[in-house]
Amino acid sequence: MRNIKLVLEYDGRRYKGWQRQTAIKSTVQGRIEHVLQLMTEEKIELHGAGRTDTGVHALGQVANFHTKSQKGLSEIEEYLHKYLPDDINLLEIREVPERFHSRLNAKGKEYLYRIWNHPSKKNIFNRDYYLHIKKPLNIEKMKQAAELFIGTKDFRSFTALKSKNKSTVRTISKIEILKKESEITLNFSGDGFLHKMVRVITGTIIQVGLGELSVSEVKEMFEKEKRSEAGFTAPPHALFLVKVIY
């Protein structure tokens, strides 16, 4: 049995997230598995490093699958390039040890959120990949709020996760906020992120930048441990899984 690792990029606009559902074509995992099963004539289970939500994109998603197929890596690569839809692309393929698991072996992830901040000027050619905010954002206030999320903390207030049995403690090592003209990017690095956690943190930081929340109010959100106390959930179309760290 061989273990094959894939590095993938995809446009998440027409998919209901990564995780397989009933309809094959509705998720990224389901679509790739379908192509792999046609190629190998085997039941394939593709393990992804992270379950990106509906509409979220990836620049460097990692996945692996086991197969008895003796097809060469170049042959598998050629097949995937030929039969995967245009909005899913294989970046890298390699054979890895049998025990490698793309999610369980991951040490961390990097995410990117993109904002277009201009009162009237539209970014028409990239509008599907930016959150357009017309009111001016206070970058310094946003950076102050971002600092509160750095470190090992309980992020229960900043996730859509409903299970009380699963730990909500995570470590964020970096939230870098960069501005270049009308473009603002939020760059996240951490050991792992809960369901919608990046988007809730992003929405909270945006509200600080708009003056709708204060930095001190964000600090209090950690103590209250209630999702209803945090900011809004930023839309998925501007979020990208950049890289998985091993």
Separation of alpha carbons 116 and 98, rounded Å: 44
Same domain, 187 and 80: no
Same domain, 114 and 222: yes
What pLDDT does residue 181 have?
95
The answer to whether the CB of 75 falls within 8 A of the CB of 157 is no
Counting beta carbons within 10 angstroms of the beta carbon of residue 68, is it exposed (0 to 12), middle (13 to 18) or buried (19 or more)? Answer: exposed
At residue 200, φ and ψ (nearest 5 deg) are -70, -45
Is residue 148 one of the residues assigned to a domain? yes
**End of a domain among 96, 126, 150?**
96
Same domain, 114 and 221: yes
| H helix runs in the chain, sequence order | 28-40, 73-83, 139-147, 197-209, 215-224
Same domain, 162 and 70: no
Residue 161, domain CATH: 3.30.70.660
Same domain, 77 and 125: no
Of 208, 198, 187, whose CA–CA distance to 139 is shortest?
208
Is residue 101 one of the residues assigned to a domain? no
| Tens-level pLDDT at each residue, the chain (246 residues) | 999 999 999 999 999 999 998 776 799 999 999 999 999 999 999 999 999 999 999 999 999 999 999 999 999 999 999 999 999 999 999 999 999 999 999 999 999 999 999 998 888 889 999 999 999 999 999 999 999 999 999 999 999 987 777 899 999 999 999 999 999 999 999 999 999 999 999 999 999 999 999 999 999 999 988 899 999 999 999 999 999 999
Same domain, 225 and 127: yes
What pLDDT does residue 163 have?
75
Number of domains in the chain: 2
Of 145, 57, 45, whose CA–CA distance to 101 is shortest?
45
Same domain, 157 and 235: yes
Which domain, by its residues, includes 85?
A: 2-96
Residue 13, domain CATH: 3.30.70.580
Same domain, 207 and 158: yes
Q: Which of 53, 87, 154, 191 is catalytic?
A: 53
What pLDDT does residue 61 have?
98
Same domain, 88 and 135: no
- Express each pLDDT in 211-245 by its tens digit: 999 999 999 999 988 899 999 999 999 999 999 99
Is residue 114 one of the residues assigned to a domain? yes
Cβ atoms < 10 Å from Cβ of 136: 12
Same domain, 115 and 237: yes
Active site residue 53: yes
Is residue 77 one of the residues assigned to a domain? yes
The answer to whether the CB of 13 falls within 8 A of the CB of 87 is yes
Is residue 120 one of the residues assigned to a domain? yes
- Report helix, strand or coil for 34: helix
Same domain, 198 and 164: yes
Same domain, 52 and 132: no
Whole-prediction pTM: 0.94
Is residue 103 one of the residues assigned to a domain? no
Beta bridge partners of 246: none
Is residue 70 one of the residues assigned to a domain? yes
Separation of alpha carbons 21 and 199, rounded Å: 22
